Amino acid sequence: MVAFATTQWSVVLEAQGESPAAQEALENLCRTYWRPVYSFVRRQGLGPEEAEDVTQGFFAHLLERKRLSVVRKEKGRLRSFLLGALKYFMADERRRATAIKRGRGQRLIPLEELRADERIDMEPADPVTAEMIYERRWALTILEHVLSRLKDEYRAVGNAALFDSLKQLLPDEPGSPSQADIAAQLGMTENALRQAFYRFRQRYQSLLREEIAHTVATPGDIEDELRHLIAVIEA
C-alpha cells in the first residue's frame, strides 16, 4: 500500500501559503524529472547549449516562490502539468528570451548528467514527435529511478550480484538469458531462482507504484498513470 499522504507532489498541491516544504518538494521533483523537459526542448530544434539554457530557465521560472499558487491550481499529474507549463513557456517569445538569460549561469538542474547521445538525438523540430519523446522519456525516467532504488536495497544487504542477475529477467531487457542459465551462474536451483525473481518482481512493482504516487494528485490516479506509462513504453 503506497503511503500516499507523504508524496512530494501532494505536498506541493496541498500546501497553504509559501510553504518551504512545498518549495523543497517541487525542487526535488524538478531535479528528478528534468530529463523529459530537456528532451522536449531539444526536439524543438534548439541547439544543445540553447536547449540547456531554456531548460534551466524554465525551472528557474517554475521554482519562483510566487509560482507555487499557480502550481497548486493544477490539481493533476506532474507529468501533464510540466508539459503544459513548458508549452506555454516556450510559446511566449518574450518569456523565452528571458528564459535563456535567466537560465544562463544557473545550475538548478543537473544537466551535466546528459550523455553525449542525448545531446544530439533530439532533431529535427517536430511538435508531435517532441511530445511523444517527452512521454517516453518520462516513462523511462520513472523506471530508471525504480531500478535505482531497488538496486540500492539489494546492495544494502549484500545482494548486488543477485540484483544484476534478476534484472536480466525483466521483460524489457534485450538478449536475456534463461532462468536456467542464471540459476546455474548463481549456483541456485531453478525453483529457488523463481522464488527470488518473484520477490524481486513484487518489490519492483511496489516501488513503481510508490514512484508514480510522487507524481499524481490522488491515490485513484496511480493505476491510470501506470497504464499510461506501460502504453507509452510498449508503443
The mean pLDDT of 128-152, rounded to a whole number, is 92
The mean pLDDT of 139-147, rounded to a whole number, is 94
DSSP codes of every residue in 32-86:
HSHHHHHHHHHHTT--HHHHHHHHHHHHHHHTSGGGHHHHHTT-S-HHHHHHHHH
The mean pLDDT of 96-117, rounded to a whole number, is 56
Q: Which of 31-40, 54-63, 113-122 has the highest mean pLDDT?
A: 31-40
pLDDT at 134: 93
Instruction: Say whether pTM exceeds 0.85.
Output: no
pLDDT at 49: 86
Cβ count near 208 (within 10 Å): 21
Q: Which of 1-15, 35-49, 154-168 has the highest mean pLDDT?
A: 154-168
Structural domain count, the chain: 1
DSSP codes of every residue in 129-159:
HHHHHHHHHHHHHHHHHHHHHHHHHHHHTT-
Is the pLDDT at 111 greater than 80, yes or no? no
Q: Residue 183 — pLDDT band, cuts 50, 70, 90?
A: very high
More confident residue, 106 or 149: 149
Its domain, for residue 166, covers 4-234
What average pLDDT is seen over the chain? Answer: 80
9-41 per-residue burial string, b: 16 or more CB within 10 A, e: under 16: bbbbbebeeebeebbebbbebbebbbbbbbbbb
